[in-house]
Structure 1
Amino acid sequence: MKFRKKVDKVLGTSLAIIMGVMVINVLWQVFTRFVMGAPSSFTDELARYLMIWVGVLGAAYISGKRMHVAIDLLPSRLNKEGQTKLKTFVNWVIIIFCLAAFVIGGLRLVYITFTLRQSSPALQIPLAVVYSVIPVSGILIIYYKLSDIINKEL
């Protein structure tokens, strides 16, 4: 559990930093557009990529905190043992989905964009860097769900 708390701390701090950079970036965009009359060329693209990172990493963070949206109609009708089995099953479905879509699919996307040497128009950074958040987030979600199953924190 100590390692999970460290992962939570690093992920939470990273999300706060990304949000702070995004706020400063958008404020700079507004300033350059309305005060200086010439909007900055990179701020729109940077804000878009930061929003993607916040969304995808935020999903992993919320998954780790078990604060994600859930429909509890079926679990509320089951006894304690049935609820535990259902939650374990749901966690395994999440693990399989994250492995297939986030990790494997995300790594394929990163590999393709890296191989094709695609870069962003304004920032000129490799899109593989932008897309790398997808497999990282998938690995984090899988870690959190496996930790929940192993530690019986369902």
Structure 2
Amino acid sequence: MQTTYKILNKTIEGMLVLIFSLLVLDVVWQVISRYVVGQSSSFTEEFARFSLIWLTVLGAAYINGQREGHLSMDFLLTKLPQKRQHKRNKVIQIFMAIFALGVMVIGGGNLVYITLKLGQLSPALLVPLGFVYAIVPICGLIIIFFSIYHIKITFNPNHNEY
């Protein structure tokens, strides 16, 4: 499980860097085409919007796996004894997995299914919107994996991550 965790983190990091780089190039091209060439490209705004969706959702899944980057109020948690901190972290991870399953995997999966079934295409790129929204259930599964991974670490008394 540790190897899968590391490979998944490296893969997501690479994807985030790639998506962000493409987003920067897209926006730079949009500015150049609008102000230098005098005619705005038709696809740049839509591509920027879609890549920002992917960057945000994938980044949230990545930060969930890191456990250090999430904004949290842990003042009261750190005041608990170590054993109760472990139990509280387990409960938090369970709720995160339930949320990811219900909202992201099931709800996002339904969104993908409906948009693909209806044949909705993006106006400029003519990409099926189901492919754009597919990142939601994928990241839901990633978050569930990370939650299970962190719960497993919580049960390991020899691990000092928490």
TM-score normalized with structure 2 length: 0.93
Q: How far is 1:76 from its partner?
A: 2.1
Alignment partner, residue 157 of structure 2: none
Alignment partners' CA distance in 1, 2:12 and 2:41: 29
1:15 partnered with 2:2: no
Alignment partner, residue 47 of structure 2: 46
Q: How far is 1:100 from its partner?
A: 0.2
CA deviations 1:17-54 (Å, max 9, x no partner) are 00011111111100100000000000000000000000
Greater Cα shift, 74-83 or 54-63: 74-83
- Where in structure 1 are there 5+ consecutive unaligned residues? none
Alignment partner, residue 142 of structure 1: 144
Alignment partners' CA distance in 2, 1:74 and 1:44: 44
CA RMSD of aligned residues (A): 0.8
Aligned length: 154
Q: How far is 1:3 from its partner?
A: 1.3
SS at match of 1:145: helix
Greater Cα shift, 66-75 or 87-96: 66-75
Alignment partners' CA distance in 2, 1:59 and 1:74: 24
TM-score normalized with structure 1 length: 0.97
SS at match of 1:150: helix
- Where in structure 2 are there 5+ consecutive unaligned residues? 155-160
Alignment partner, residue 25 of structure 2: 24
Q: How far is 1:2 from its partner?
A: 1.4
1:81 partnered with 2:83: yes
Matches within 5 A, 1:49-128: 49-66=50-67, 67-128=69-130
SS at match of 1:74: helix
